[in-house]
Amino acid sequence: AWYHLGAMQQANEMDLQAIPALFQAVRLDPANSAAWLLLAASCVNETCIPDALDALAGWLRTRGLNVQARDTNALLRMTEDLPRPDGEVAQALSILYSLAGDGEAAIRSLQ
């Protein structure tokens, strides 16, 4: 329920309301990779960069990578090593490229 509430808030461009719902979703289910990505995107949209990096690290942990990094480049390198056909990987790369200031790569990752 928390995930769906956060997803609907984000879809309605209400990221400030989505963030607490998505935090609650990942607190209750740390394996919810979709919630981690939505949380990262909402945090980026609200310029909460440390929280966005933590959310991306949480998403990488759902992929079996033990990540504590708050370094955009380190997270980007780890994500780039994951299989690409996965839509979540494309989303994560888009967020990370945006954080790194490479808008063109962010768009390419979603194509």
- For 20-75, the pLDDT digits (tens) are 999 999 999 999 999 999 999 999 989 898 999 999 999 988 988 877 767 777 77
Q: Which residue has the tokens 């609650």?
A: 24
Q: Which residue has the tokens 């909460």?
A: 48
- For 65-101, the pLDDT digits (tens) are 877 767 777 777 777 777 666 788 888 888 888 888 8
What does residue 13 show for φ and ψ, rounded to 5 degrees?
A: 60, 40
